[in-house]
Structure 1
Amino acid sequence: MNLSVAIQGFEIGISLIVAIGAQNSYILKMGIQKKHVFTTALLCSFLDIILITSGTLGLSSIIDGNKTLMLFSTIFGILFLSYYGLSSIIRAIKSNEAFHIENSNKEDSLKKTILTILALTLLNPHVYIDTVILIGSIGSKFPAHQQIDFIIGACLASIVWFFSLAYGARILIPLFKKEITWKILDIIIGLIMLRIASKLVFFGIENNLFSNFSLF
């Protein structure tokens, strides 16, 4: 293994995934609630591994030039993130979730958790831009025999980050015994989702994705 190439992959991977976004916000919340923590971290890591590997081995050039794929993923991403964001804000205003930390009864089923992660990941074009196009295009420029080393480094960054975030969130549990702290988190998550949705709108406009779509 070429260690320097693997380190480059790790550095690039960690620099792109640490930003607070839809996926990371959900992982943080599940970690605080102690709900399906291992599954959440594992699934997010697995999806990143698939996307990074695919991008490095050639998928980045296909997605980057496919406006139809980017159009529909952008539209679905806008709709889903807007719904999730508004729901989170409404839930913060109406509900009392402070006690769910100590007495979690797995209200969010495993199936619902998995579907939410899949939606937050696969319906968000920025995930493809970061993992497939950006990381993938950088990795694809290495010689073929070094691309695996780059992939290992980038994928390791995702695994380290997601598991650290999911299990490290427990440090914050004492804060979330207070109802107001929980409401603030839900509002912040909702605003993050809405901000990403708005960024997807501008992304679609800047890249002329909506020009041939009848609703825009």
Structure 2
Amino acid sequence: MTHLLPPFAAGFALSAALIVAIGAQNLFVLRQGLRGEHVGALVLFFGLSDALLIAAGVGGVGGVGAFLSAAPQLTTILALGGAAFLAWYGIAALRRTASPGAVSVGAAGALSLGRAVATGAAFTFLNPHVYLDTVLLMGTAGSAQPEALRPAFVLGAASASFAWFAALGYGARLLQPVFTRPAAWRVLDACVGIVMLSLAASLAAGALLR
């Protein structure tokens, strides 16, 4: 059993290092955690999505890389679609900063479970960086492990993803006293809007200049 610990730890450490960076998924989970909306479902969805993508990369990173290389148009379309979605979400966040009725935990306009999961799916599968981190980078690192140890690597990487999203979503409740003030929500939404628009611009520029 102890021989499984090094690949598990390697997967956990690499996944944790990649996922902690500020990104669209993290900000979405944080906001939903502050509102107390569908946190468990989103943690499960994001964790399972990462696990499946990492497992796909570890199991066949060469095939995935070859497919992406052979279909640059698909990568461009994916990037532009992701950029459009991020820009829409970023503009919506900035608009909330000027709307007094949309800046409290109990405000109207809460997302339904289906819409929350659909939004999470868009943040995940319309973002080429997700594939770069999970399928290609994690897949390359995992496939370098001996075949018998690869499941432990995937389990470690998936564990880091679940742990992070759970900590972010449920830990956000500790900040709820701060977010009883509308000004705090305006600051958060302003940050979300700026990050989303920056990510959108980066995706679009990368796709058009490729």
TM-score by length of structure 1 reads 0.89
- Render the CA deviation track for 1:137-166: whole Å, top value 9, x for unaligned: 111121211111110111111010011100
Aligned to 1:9: 11
Deviations 1:117-141 (A, max 9, x none): 0001100111111111111111112
Residue 138 of structure 1 corresponds to: 141
Q: Which residue is equivalent to 1:176?
A: 179
Question: Per-residue CA shift, 1:166-199, capped at 9, x if unaligned?
Answer: 0000011011000010011011011111111111
Which residue number in structure 1 is paired with residue 132 of structure 2?
Answer: 129
Counterpart of 1:68, as a letter, is: Q
Q: Could you say which residue in structure 2 is the equivalent of 1:93?
A: 98
Q: Which of the numbers 59, 65, 69 marks the counterpart of 1:61?
A: 65
DSSP 3-state at the match of 1:96: helix
Does residue 1:165 correspond to 2:176, yes or no? no
Q: Distance in 1 between matches of 2:59 and 2:9?
A: 18
Q: Partners in 2 of 1:29 and 1:196 — Cα distance?
A: 18
Q: The residue matched to 1:42 in structure 2 has which SS?
A: helix
Moved more, 54-63 or 85-94: 54-63
Is the CA contact 2:34–2:172 (under 8 Å) kept in the aligned structure 1? yes
Query: Aligned partner of 1:141: which letter?
Result: A
Q: Which aligned segments of 4 or more residues in structure 1 are displaced greater than 3 angstroms?
A: 103-106
Quick one: which amino acid aligns to residue 35 of structure 2?
A: Q
Corresponding residue of 2:21: 19
What's 1:112 paired with?
Answer: 115
Q: TM-score, normalised by structure 2?
A: 0.92
The residue identity in structure 1 corresponding to 2:176 is I
Could you tell me which runs of 5 or more consecutive residues in structure 1 were left unpaired when the two chains were aligned. 209-216
Equivalent residue pairs, number: 205
What is the aligned partner in structure 1 of residue 44 from structure 2? 42
> What's the RMSD between the two structures over aligned residues?
1.6
* 2:151 equivalent in structure 1: 148
Alignment match, 1:211: none
Deviation at 1:205, TM superposition (A): 4.3
Q: Summarize deviations over 1:71-96 as a string: whole Å, max 9, x none.
A: 11101011100111011101211233
**Cα distance in 1 between the residues matched to 2:185 and 2:116:** 19
> One-letter code of the match for 1:77?
G
Larger CA deviation: 33-42 vs 86-95 = 86-95
The code of the aligned residue for 1:187 comes to A
Equivalent-residue separation in structure 2 for 1:88 and 1:128 (angstroms):
25
Q: Does 1:72 align with 2:77?
A: yes
State whether residues 83 and 204 of structure 2, in contact with CA within 8 Å, keep that contact through their aligned partners in structure 1: yes
User: Identity over aligned residues, as a percent?
Assistant: 35
User: Measured at CA, do residues 81 and 63 of structure 1 come closer, stay the same or move farther in structure 2, by a change above 3 Å?
Assistant: farther
